[in-house]
Structure 1
Amino acid sequence: MTSTEMKSNFQGQSGHPNIVVSMPSGPEFGAKSILSYFEDAVSQGTVFRAGETVQVGWMMLMLKSTEGGELDVWEPRFGEIPIVWERGASKTYRQLIVQKSVAELVGAEPAFPSLRQSGVISPDFMASKDFQMFRDQPTGTDSGWLFTTEQNVSSDGRLASLFEVASKRPEIIPFLALPAASSVVLKDGQVNISYGKKVVGSDSSDLLRRLPGRP
């Protein structure tokens, strides 16, 4: 897929530096969608500066100054902690759309956490093929997510940032914007989501069957 780059045209309008959004592996309409977010904010009086981070979906975008005085959009590179930034917003857009779509499967509005928020993981979660995840009401830096396994009998869970968990278990990413009182079970290659009285599984959902499980 060819790389796409789009740029705002603030010069002469608000005096705000132009913002550049690239999609190294994403569609043009994805870049347009991310750029529209910044354009709408600037039109309402927001001023963005180099070095700032902005949350879009569950992801964080970093604004970096270019030699020409513009603001370039960068996103986290998965698998490296602390965060290493790379140019573009391909993953941010892709994950935003997938998380919205998964929430729609159970008739819910997405409740995006932040990758900087924490979740609780059981001792065997990272090494297990199958997993379960449950969400309580988020509070402060706590996303509300608990990541565990069917076999887990330990109460020795530990806190970890959602970014750390997702870097090691990218299969969780599509489900992170499900609201409180949701649960997800991955077992024997099959996924089932529960929210209230709504249950959706990969046996009946093309979207769940197609989930790649990679950031």
Structure 2
Amino acid sequence: MTEMKSNFQGKHGHPDIVVSMPSGPDFGAAPILSFFEDAVRQGTVFRAGETVQMGWMMLMLKETESGELDVWEPRFGAVPIVWERGASKTYRQLIVQKSVAEQLCLEPSFPSLRQSGVISPDFMTSSNFQMFRESSAGTSSGWLFTTEENQSTDGRLASLFEIAGKRPEVIPFLAMPASSSVVLKDGKVKISYGKVEVTSDSNELLRRLQASDLID
């Protein structure tokens, strides 16, 4: 486990913040900690029990016995959210989502895991799926999740956190902006924005996403 800690005491009158990486890249703790350090230097005050959005994920700050603020992230598969110590998944998913958007020369447009998407009745059980994003507004992420075979108009709202917990394959694509689409069919992926598209047949990152644990 990698653990990094800020050194605010005596400088900003702010509790030290601790970021741990129980798994994943050790260097991931540094940019997470830098985010908090920069915010504190600019006058932000973080408090125990507060949640902070990073990428599409939420981080929870919990006070330790020594008065520091420990960073925790959501555990997937549990609804409502159960928090676990560290920021490993947050960092990995942030980097992967940025990288996917870059394949189409786009800036990521991060939703929040608390926002909703619309899912078709067969989306959770089909091996193939399609994702389409409209403009986000309020609690809506703009995402529609469906299948090629879907004939129903009985879609329902679900939080992105619930959807991702059951279909983690969607996570790398959630930060693609409005007017984007994703098609997963027979183990291959195609991402599109307007008339521009990239497929896993010719793109190494998309190919790796289908064959690895980049987001777990």
Instruction: Report whether the alignment pairs 1:109 with 2:103.
Output: no
* Alignment partner, residue 84 of structure 2: 86
* Alignment partner, residue 48 of structure 1: 46
Q: CA deviation at 1:158?
A: 0.1
Cα deviation, 1:142-179, whole Å, max 9, x if unaligned, reads: 00000000000100000000000000000000000000
- Of 167, 170, 175, the residue aligned with 2:168 is 170
How do 1:61-80 and structure 2 match up within 5 A? 61-80=59-78
Equivalents in 2 of 1:189, 1:152: separation in Å?
A: 19
Percent of aligned pairs with the same amino acid: 78
Equivalents in 2 of 1:117, 1:74: separation in Å?
A: 20
Give the conservation status (yes or no) of the 8 Å contact 1:4–1:26. no
Cα deviation, 1:42-67, whole Å, max 9, x if unaligned, reads: 00000000000000000000000000
* Alignment partner, residue 15 of structure 1: 13
Equivalents in 2 of 1:18, 1:197: separation in Å?
A: 48
| Secondary structure, counterpart of 2:39 in structure 1 | helix
Instruction: Report whether the alignment pairs 1:95 with 2:115.
Output: no
Q: Which runs of 5+ in 2 are unaligned?
A: none
Q: CA deviation at 1:198?
A: 1.2
Equivalents in 2 of 1:27, 1:153: separation in Å?
A: 43
| Secondary structure, counterpart of 1:159 in structure 2 | strand
Instruction: Report whether the alignment pairs 1:123 with 2:128.
Output: no
* Alignment partner, residue 58 of structure 2: 60
Matched AA of 1:88: G
TM-score of the two chains, using structure 1 as the length reference: 0.98
Equivalents in 2 of 1:92, 1:28: separation in Å?
A: 13
| Secondary structure, counterpart of 2:205 in structure 1 | helix
RMSD between aligned residues:
0.8
Give the conservation status (yes or no) of the 8 Å contact 1:135–1:182. yes
Q: CA deviation at 1:26?
A: 2.4
Q: CA deviation at 1:29?
A: 1.8
| Secondary structure, counterpart of 1:9 in structure 2 | coil
TM-score of the two chains, using structure 2 as the length reference: 0.97
Equivalents in 2 of 1:135, 1:28: separation in Å?
A: 33
Equivalents in 1 of 2:10, 2:195: separation in Å?
A: 53
| Secondary structure, counterpart of 1:103 in structure 2 | helix
Q: CA deviation at 1:28?
A: 2.7
Task: Flag as ranges the 4+ runs of structure 1 deviating above 2 A.
Answer: 212-215
| Secondary structure, counterpart of 1:163 in structure 2 | helix
- Of 129, 132, 135, the residue aligned with 1:134 is 132
Matched AA of 2:12: S
Q: Which runs of 5+ in 1 are unaligned?
A: none
Equivalents in 1 of 2:116, 2:26: separation in Å?
A: 33
| Secondary structure, counterpart of 2:61 in structure 1 | strand
Matched AA of 2:155: G
